[in-house]
A and B are shown apart, each in its own frame.
Chain A
């Protein structure tokens, strides 16, 4: 009996969870104590079931107690955040891949020819540093009045700036995919403030200019009605009001229109939402009348009543009806 029961339990050992889908309360016990007693009893059974599975797993002894290895949970629960997205390759990495360039590790220490010692490859006090060269020999191509030291410094700065720019581009590309490293944020430096930026203003398009001219022309009390027109000026595109308000006060003409409008909307709404408003009797009679009419029409067309109808029609359109008559004869 106990075995049969245990089979019906669902046990998720990874979450230490047991579920009994077979139990059902036919009638909930009236008193709270009784209910809790039943629940505790049932719960104990389930917990014992988990413990049976748990304590039978192989364990390793530890000073704090026996340690077991839990299987992964079987109940699937949603993730907290999306899976990390793969970082896209940088422009250089793409290029290197295309050309088959491989990365080689450099030694940390390099032989420095200037001093004849081993020095760091990068960083402070590094080997073969341009900065350490105290004398630059003049060349015939040198321009007079140019400081070769300053030039070297500027070139170095340029290279560093370029690298920084490339880095930003690569990060922007990564941000687009959502694969920005977690500790990096890309932030807008500053919002452009009008008047502060030196760059030339964007050339205004024809449309913009027209719009501005239109605004200016109509920005008078009369809406530009009495102003002198400039040569070649077109009339404003949109004249008149944008929105028409109907008078609320009831009366003839417009007043009734407002009422009509709202009534129309209300009728539409009511007709859609409720069928109680439908007068069934009226609808049935209407339907019947319509049917009757249709039947009559059909009778008229099908039963050939040549004697009365055609005699009437003949004098009206004698010439045009001729072919029709013929066809009708051939049918019979």
Chain B
């Protein structure tokens, strides 16, 4: 065995960026496609890449051995996720059976966590929208989300899709937000139990006379209908492990105080000893003898009863 360490500081920093952390940095997205794509799908992938610019990596070569839902078809995907340090992926493929197919998925520890497959319908690209260019959302701003429709709760697939979409587009979890920088919304409406109309809108903040500005949505695209096809939820144990949160502050220590003179002082509470309810063990000598005597006295009578039973024959 040999200990291998990075030769440069830069390399070391790069490795430290990828190490598991208590508070994680934002998830990166890998965008790639299968052997065959369509014009629509190409645009969809490019525009998702534009929306996620800064935290996304786009692969342009075709991949013939990625089939996320099949066993054995995820190996190279998992390898790419490891290589690029991406834990979200968008995989496009186009076939006769499943035209304009998008597989959205997440990985945990560089292994596939869950998958949702959606078909893209009624796609309108960014370029086809006409609006005031001043409103164009900036790169890397924190988006709003508006989910509309009871199907996001009642339908298992849409519930899953909602979570994945939120994870995909929400960006980094931030503590401080600049209110001047809010400029985009992802609006998702459930049309049926499997269809979602998703649209990317810009925000126009208008004066309302109060401190809260009046919001106005301007569609800037892309907009599309997502039809859920297949989906795979994470298994319970994996989910439980992945949902583990970083432990907060250490637990409050009770009954320990520090004293200037005595140093560390502990208080101990002892409940009253309840003698009455204490179980006595069978090995008490006195009891044993009593029982022995009782047995002796009883034994004669018992034998008789037995004989009586045996007699009628």
Contact = CB atoms under 8 A, between A and B. Distances in A.
A25 B4 contact: no
Interface in B90-141: 106-109, 113, 122
A54 to B, nearest CB: 7
A138 interface: no
Nearest to A70: B177
Interface residues of B, number: 78
B234 A78 contact: yes
A55 to B, nearest CB: 4
B5 A183 contact: yes
A52 B208 CA distance: 12
A243 B137 CA distance: 70
A66 B179 contact: yes
Interface string B1-42: 111111000011001101111101001000000000000000
Nearest to B185: A47
Given A23-B148, A186-B4, A67 B177 contact: yes
A35 interface: yes
Contacts of A44: 215-217
A33 to B, nearest CB: 11
B270 interface: no
Interface in A22-80: 22-25, 28, 32, 35-36, 39-40, 42-44, 46-48, 50-52, 54-56, 59, 62, 64-70, 72-73, 75-80
B204 to A, nearest CB: 10
Given A18-B145, A28-B191, A187-B1, A79 B24 contact: yes
Interface in B181-232: 181-182, 185, 187, 189-192, 197, 199, 201, 203, 211-217, 219, 223
Nearest to B197: A39
State the main secondary structure of chain B at its contact with A. mixed
A284 interface: no
A172 B1 contact: yes
Contacts of A65: 178-181
Interface string A287-326: 0000000000000000000000000000000000000000
Nearest to B113: A78
Interface in B214-263: 214-217, 219, 223, 234, 239, 241-246
A78 B145 contact: no
CB-based closest 3 A-B pairs? A65-B180, A182-B19, A78-B242
Interface of B: 1-6, 11-12, 15-16, 18-22, 24, 27, 87, 106-109, 113, 122, 142-153, 162-163, 166-167, 170, 173-182, 185, 187, 189-192, 197, 199, 201, 203, 211-217, 219, 223, 234, 239, 241-246
